[in-house]
Amino acid sequence: MKKILNYLFIFLIVIAAVNSCSDLDENYSHYLRDIKYSSRVRELSGEIGIEKVRLSWINPEDHVAKRIRIEYGNDMFIETESLISSITIEDLTSAVGYSFSVFTLDAFGNKSIGSTLFLTPVTQTYINSYVARLTTIQPKFSIQDNSVIIKWENLTENAFLWYTGKINYTYSVHGETYTGSSDTGNNNEETVIIPDIHSPVNITFDYVMYYQPIIGNNLLIDTIPKSESAEIVIDYSSGDIFEKIEGSKISRYFGIPYNNTTEFSSYYLFAHLFDGSSSDNSSWVSSSPDVDPLKGGNKENDSQYPLSFTVDISDEKELSHIDIWGWENFSQAPKRFEVWGTLSIESDKPQSYWETINPGDWQDDWYKLADCEVVGNPIPPGYKFEINPNREKIRFVRILVHEVFKPVNHVRVGMSELMFYEQLPPRLIVK
């Protein structure tokens, strides 16, 4: 009987062992056909943002890994539905940082060996304080051709904010509000133009530029807005807003037929018209042979009016006024004349192009800046005319004199000083 009980006990143990092996085979049968655990991810890297991180890695190529599991913080984890290679994790409010472990999972949920990385994202509280105390690249303001030019330079050289190339702006002019934007990438420069400024005005210019913060040599993955504002005052001062062009920059222009300027002695020099002195009364524009038949006179128009002469004011300018001082009691000073201007002269034109008695084709290519006439007797030292109402850019000025005060036997124009004035830009103040 005792032997029978012993055999029964041994039989039960064998049965239990067989059942146990059966369970083991059931659990791991998928590895008994040369199937291996999934491999770990490689080259795990991370970038920080504002209460977030972005993890990236390279997945194994063993075809065993099917999903990803990321473990971090206090028992927090993320499991994906597919084999991704990057992820952004948000709501990371701890300022002490997180250890992130990335695993692959096989089809049965078994984990690979983990790859681990420690990162400390920036808190929102810190970034608010950080951005508030930063100084951004400020724009430069100027006025060109009745437009306000707002220009930023060296935007990508800010050591703390990386400009993304995106700007939104709003400005108000004379009660009208305008908006605009630009999103062209990491530009080093940015320009905004406010056009059609012709009178005094206050402009409120509000703009938002978008940056990626740079903290501890880390470029954050987040883009943040930085709002700023400027008050632009355009002041067209009362009174004269023009200034005299320096006489030493003005010169006689040679090469145009029917120009009858004369220099026939060391005393009567054309350059004296611009020397700033009227004491010597020492210059004129002549059409008759006068003293020197070679240098004085104008055979082309048979010594008739209009007399013409051309000067080069040295650079393109927005002329605004012309001032003439007579000589010999204004006896031969211009009384009625035209003022013309152009930016460039085509010197290869035939002589007929430049005719003045019968208006030549040149007048089609030049701007007529003014018709001027002195009414009554001139008042010493001279008289000033406003010219160029359209504010054309001018370099060469041609004057056609049709009539003078108190003409003499010589068909001649006499002046002691000829002055040109350029329009000054309005004064710009930025607050």
| CATH code at position 347 | 2.60.120.260
Q: What is the reported pLDDT for 138?
A: 94
Q: Which pLDDT belongs to residue 255?
A: 83
User: Last residue of a domain, which of 121, 141, 158?
Assistant: 121
- Residue 292: band (very low, low, confident or very high) from pLDDT cuts 50, 70, 90: low
Backbone angles phi, psi at 294, to 5 degrees: -85, -40
Domain boundary among 101, 121, 141: 121
- C-alpha distances out from residue 256 to 158, 282, 301, 361, 419, Å: 55, 24, 13, 13, 21
pLDDT tens, residue by residue, 91-128: 999 989 999 999 999 999 999 999 999 999 999 999 99
Give the pLDDT of residue 358.
83
Specify if 324 maps to a domain.
yes
Cα–Cα distance, 270 to 264 (Å, whole number): 10
Does residue 307 lie within any of the structural domains? yes
| Structural domain includes residue 9 | no
Strand, helix or coil at 146?
Answer: coil
Distance from C-alpha of 9 to C-alpha of 16, rounded to nearest angstrom: 11
Query: For residue 5, which amino acid is it?
Result: L
Count structural domains, the chain. Answer: 3
Residue 259 or residue 209, greater confidence: 209
Can you say whether the dihedral through the CA atoms of 404, 409, 411, 414 is positive or negative?
A: negative
Contact partners, residue 279, CB within 8 Å, separation at least 6: none
- Residue 21 falls inside a structural domain: no
Q: The whole model's pTM is what?
A: 0.61
Q: Do 334 and 224 fall into the same domain? A: no
Give residue 412's pLDDT: 82
Co-location of 153 and 221 in the same domain: yes
Task: Identify the pLDDT of residue 213.
Answer: 95
Residues 359 and 267 in one domain: yes
User: What is the average pLDDT across 383-400?
Assistant: 93
Most confident of 15-24, 192-201, 376-385, 394-403: 394-403
Query: Do 257 and 299 have their domain in common?
Result: yes
Domain boundary among 67, 96, 121: 121
Contacts of 294 (CB under 8 A, 6+ apart): none
Tokens of 12: 């039960």
Number of alpha helices (DSSP H) and beta strands (DSSP E) in the chain = 3, 26
Per-residue pLDDT tens over the stretch 261-283:
776 666 778 888 898 877 655 67
Within this chain, do residues 113 and 194 fall inside the same structural domain, yes or no? no
Confidence band (pLDDT; 50, 70, 90) for 297?
Answer: low
Same domain for 162 and 106: no
**Band of residue 321 on the pLDDT scale cut at 50, 70, 90:** very high
Does 115 lie in the same domain as 157? Answer: no
The length of the chain is 431
> 392 in a domain, yes or no?
yes
Same domain assignment for residues 134 and 258: no
Tokens matching residue 275: 């020397």
pLDDT of 9 over the 70 cut: no
Q: What is the mean pLDDT of residues 189-200?
A: 89
pLDDT digit string, tens, across residues 340-377: 999 999 888 998 999 888 888 999 999 999 999 999 88
Angle at 83 between CA 78 and CA 85, to 5 degrees: 85
Q: Are 327 and 416 in contact (CB under 8 A)?
A: yes
pLDDT, residue 206, reads 97
> 280 and 336: one domain?
yes
Q: Residues 266, 303: contact at Cβ < 8 Å?
A: no
Residue 276 has which token pair? 């700033």
What pLDDT does 283 receive? 75
Q: Which residue has the tokens 């008739």?
A: 304
CATH number at residue 51: 2.60.40.10
pLDDT of 241: 73
Q: Answer yes or no: do 112 and 231 share one domain.
A: no
Distance CA 207, CA 231 (A): 12
Average pLDDT, the chain: 85
State whether 52 and 69 are in the same domain. yes
Residue 363 phi/psi, 5-degree rounding, is -70, -20
Same domain as 303, residue 225: no
134 lies in some domain: yes
The CA distances from residue 299 to 137, 261, 360, in Å, are: 65, 12, 17
pLDDT at 8: 46
Q: Strand, helix or coil at 11?
A: helix
Q: Could you list the residue range(s) of the whole structural domain that residue 158 is in?
A: 127-235
